[in-house]
Amino acid sequence: MVYESPYEPLTIPEIDLWSFLFERKSKPFADSKEIFTDSETGRTYTFGDLRSTSLEFGKGLQSLWNWQRGDVMAFYTPNSIDTPPAMLGLLWAGGIGSPANPLYTEPELTFQLKDSGAKAIVTQLPFIETARRAAKTVGIPEDRIILIGDAHDPSGHFRHFSTIRNTSFSGRPTAVKVDVRNDLAFLVYSSGTTGLPKGVCLTHHNIVSNVLQMSSMDSMYFHPYGGIDGKGDKGLGITPFFHIYGLTCCIMVFIYTGWELISMPRFDLERACQLIEQYKISFAYVPPPVILAFSKHPIVEKYDLSSMRMFHSGAAPLTPELATALWDRLKIAVKQGYGLSETAPVATMQLPDEWGKFMGSTGKLLPNMQARLVEPDEGRDVEVGQPGELWLKGPNIFPGYLNLPENTKATMSADGYFKTGDIFVVDKYGNFTCVDRLKELIKYKGFQVPPAELEGILLGHKDITDACVIGIEDKEQATEVPRAYIVLKPGLPTDAAKAKEIVDWLASLTAPHKKLRGGVHFVSEVPKSASGKLLRRVLRDQVRQAEKK
C-alpha cells in the first residue's frame, strides 16, 4: 500500500537555493529583519546583510580563485553566524558545500576532503592545525584555508572570510546558472545503510523542497514578527550546521521564514538557559539528548524559561517518557520529526498541536511525499498495521551517493523509492512510528557512528584479529553507545586494562562521538555468515536478549 502525505501538495519552484532565498518577489518580513545572532558577541546578520555578504563572498571567490560551477568547499567549523553567508556565497558562485564535524581527526577530515574533491576549506583558528595538515595531504594550497568567526590569524598567514568578500573584483562576476535538478548544493557524509561514510548528493531542488515542505508546517506556529516582545519567534541555534539537520532546519529554514536564530558555538545547558531567558526564545530544533538535559538537570530551575513553547526533536528516537518528563517539569511541548541525510533531511513530522496525542510517533509524511512499508529483502508490502522497512519518495530524496553507483542502486527500489533501513509502523491516522533499525548504523546522541569504520580501524591494531561493533542502549543518557566485540591474538591478556588500552587507542584516532563508550568485550569469535560477512544484527539481538534476562 502506498501512503500519501495527508497535506495539500506544494508547488515547488524550479529555482536554485540562493535565488529561492534572496530573490523572492514577496516575503513576509523586511530586509532589516535579524536572522542570525551570535550568542557570545551579539553580532547579527539581518536578511539584507546575508544577501549582500553572500554576494560579495561569491564574487570574491570568482575573482580570486576563478571558482567554477561544481567546485566543492569544505566547512570544518563549529556553528558560526559567518557560515550561512559563506555557504550561500559559495552556492551563488555555483559551488557545493561539504560540511565536516570540527572534532574530526586528521584522517577523518582527510578522507572527506579527498572523497569530495574539496578545493578550499572554511574553518576557525582553533581548528587550523588539523585543517592545515589534512589540506597538505590532499594538495589543497594553504592560501585556500579561509577563516571565519571573530578571531583573525595574528600572523596574518591565513585569509579571513571578510577579506575575501572585500577583494576588488576583476572582470564582471556573474551568478552561475545551475541545473537545479542535477547540480548539488551540498555534499554531506553518511554511512547510509551499510559500510563507510559516503557522499550524499543533495541538489538545489532537494533543499528548496525540504525548506518548503517543513516550513509549510512550522510557519503556521512561528512568525517573523509579533510574539512576547514583538520581535517575532526566536530559535535557539544549538544543532550543528555541519549536520544536515542544522544545515536545512537552522540555516536555510530561518532565512526563508525570517525567524531569528540565536546561534551558539557549542551546547552548554546553562548558557542555553540564559539565552532563552535573555532573548525570550520560543523554540528549538534539537536532538533527544538536549531534551534529556532540559528535563532532568537541576540548573534549569534557576532560569525563567516561560517563553519556550516547543522543542522539535529529531536525529534519534525520542521516547514518550522523555517527552512527558519535559512537559511535566517545564510545560514545554516536544514534537518529533524523522528523516535522514538522504531526505534533506525531514520526511515525517508532528505538528505542535499534536502534542500529547500520538506520543512516540514521528508524525505524518510531509507534503509531496509518499511511503511504503516493506518486508525487508522481499520488496513485498507488509500487512496494514505491521512493521516494515520504510521506503520513501518525494522531491527531497537525494539522487545518489557520490561516485558509488552500486551503493546508490542498492538503496533505490525498482519503482523509485529510497530504502531507509529503518523499521516503522503506521497507525490509521497516518502517523509513522520508528520501532527499530534494520541497518547497522549506530547513533550516539544523533551523531552517526558507522560500525564498519570502527571495525576497520580496530583491525589495524597489532593485537586484534577480528572485531564487531554494535550499538548498546544507554537509557540514562537516552542514546546508543558503540561497543566492540574483539578477538585478540592468542595468549594476550583479556582483562580490563587491555580493554581500556583499546578504548583509549581508538579514541585517539576518531572524533569523540565515536568513542567506545559501551566498552570492549573480548570474545573467541564474532558471528559471521557462511560467506564471511559480519552479522552485526545477530550479535546485537543476542546481546539484547541476554540483557533482558
Q: How big is the chain by its Cα radius of gyration, in Å? A: 23
Question: Measuring CA to CA, which residue among 239, 283, 243, 241 is closest to residue 260?
Answer: 283
Closest separation in Å from C-beta 101 to ligand 4UU? 11
Closest separation in Å from C-beta 70 to ligand 4UU? 23
Residues recorded for the chain: 549
**CA–CA gap between residue 502 and residue 199 (Å, rounded):** 29
The answer to whether 474 touches 518, Cβ cutoff 8 Å, is yes
Site string for ligand 4UU, 302-321 (x = CB under 6 A): ------------xxxx----
Question: SS3 of 490, please?
Answer: coil
Question: SS3 of 186, please?
Answer: strand
Beta bridge partners of 183: none
Site string for ligand 4UU, 439-478 (x = CB under 6 A): ----x--x-x------------------------------
Using CB atoms within 10 A of its CB, is residue 190 exposed (0-12), middle (13-18) or buried (19+)? buried
Question: SS3 of 265, please?
Answer: coil
The answer to whether 134 touches 113, Cβ cutoff 8 Å, is yes
> Is residue 341 at the binding interface for ligand 4UU, with CB under 6 A as the rule?
yes
> Is residue 190 at the binding interface for ligand 4UU, with CB under 6 A as the rule?
yes
DSSP state for residue 35 in the 8-state scheme: E
> Is residue 420 at the binding interface for ligand 4UU, with CB under 6 A as the rule?
yes
Which C-beta is closer to ligand 4UU: that of 178 or that of 340?
A: 340
Which C-beta is closer to ligand 4UU: that of 317 or that of 388?
A: 317
Q: Considering only residues 130-189, where is the footprint of ligand 4UU by CB under 6 A?
A: none
Task: Give me 187's grid cell.
Answer: 555534499
The answer to whether 34 touches 257, Cβ cutoff 8 Å, is no
The answer to whether 336 touches 431, Cβ cutoff 8 Å, is no
Which C-beta is closer to ligand 4UU: that of 355 or that of 505?
A: 355
Applying CB under 6 A, among 245, 311, 401, 444 the residue interacting with ligand 4UU is 245
Applying CB under 6 A, among 437, 483, 513, 540 the residue interacting with ligand 4UU is 437
Applying CB under 6 A, among 96, 128, 146, 346 the residue interacting with ligand 4UU is 346
Question: SS3 of 436, please?
Answer: strand
How many residues bind ligand 4UU, per CB under 6 A?
Answer: 25
Stretch that binds ligand 4UU, among 22-30, 153-161, 301-309, 332-340 (CB under 6 A): 332-340
Task: Give me 112's grid cell.
Answer: 572527506
Stretch that binds ligand 4UU, among 34-42, 67-75, 340-348, 521-529 (CB under 6 A): 340-348
Applying CB under 6 A, among 78, 95, 199, 345 the residue interacting with ligand 4UU is 345
Which whole-number Å values give the CA distances from 248 to 207, 237, 319, 491, in the listed order?
A: 7, 12, 24, 52
**CA–CA gap between residue 340 and residue 344 (Å, rounded):** 7
Question: SS3 of 147, please?
Answer: strand
Inter-helix orientation angle 106-116/128-138, to 10°: 50
> Is residue 394 at the binding interface for ligand 4UU, with CB under 6 A as the rule?
no
**CA–CA gap between residue 241 and residue 111 (Å, rounded):** 20
Closest separation in Å from C-beta 253 to ligand 4UU? 11
Question: SS3 of 76, please?
Answer: strand
Applying CB under 6 A, among 5, 130, 209, 336 the residue interacting with ligand 4UU is 336
Applying CB under 6 A, among 128, 180, 340, 366 the residue interacting with ligand 4UU is 340
Closest separation in Å from C-beta 284 to ligand 4UU? 12
**Looking only at Cα atoms, what is the longest distance across the chain?**
73
- Residue recorded with cell 574553518: 123
Applying CB under 6 A, among 60, 99, 265, 339 the residue interacting with ligand 4UU is 339
Closest separation in Å from C-beta 451 to ligand 4UU? 13
Question: Measuring CA to CA, which residue among 430, 509, 521, 508 is closest to residue 482?
Answer: 521
Closest separation in Å from C-beta 471 to ligand 4UU? 10
Task: Give me 27's grid cell.
Answer: 516575503
Closest separation in Å from C-beta 339 to ligand 4UU? 3
Beta strands in 13-170 (DSSP E): 34-38, 44-46, 72-76, 96-100, 120-123, 145-147, 159-160
Which C-beta is closer to ligand 4UU: that of 147 or that of 212?
A: 212
Which C-beta is closer to ligand 4UU: that of 407 or that of 448?
A: 448
Q: In what order do the strands lie in the sheet with 72-76?
A: 159-160, 145-147, 120-123, 72-76, 96-100, 184-190, 198-203, 400-401
Closest separation in Å from C-beta 209 to ligand 4UU? 14
Closest separation in Å from C-beta 192 to ligand 4UU? 8
Closest separation in Å from C-beta 245 to ligand 4UU? 4
Stretch that binds ligand 4UU, among 276-284, 331-339, 376-384, 495-503 (CB under 6 A): 331-339
Closest separation in Å from C-beta 310 to ligand 4UU? 13
Q: Considering only residues 355-374, where is the footprint of ligand 4UU by CB under 6 A?
A: 362
Stretch that binds ligand 4UU, among 74-82, 104-112, 396-404, 418-426 (CB under 6 A): 418-426
Applying CB under 6 A, among 422, 453, 455, 480 the residue interacting with ligand 4UU is 422
Which C-beta is closer to ligand 4UU: that of 125 or that of 511?
A: 511
Where on the chain is the footprint of ligand 4UU (CB under 6 A)? 190, 244-245, 314-317, 336-341, 345-346, 349, 362, 420-422, 434, 437, 443, 446, 448
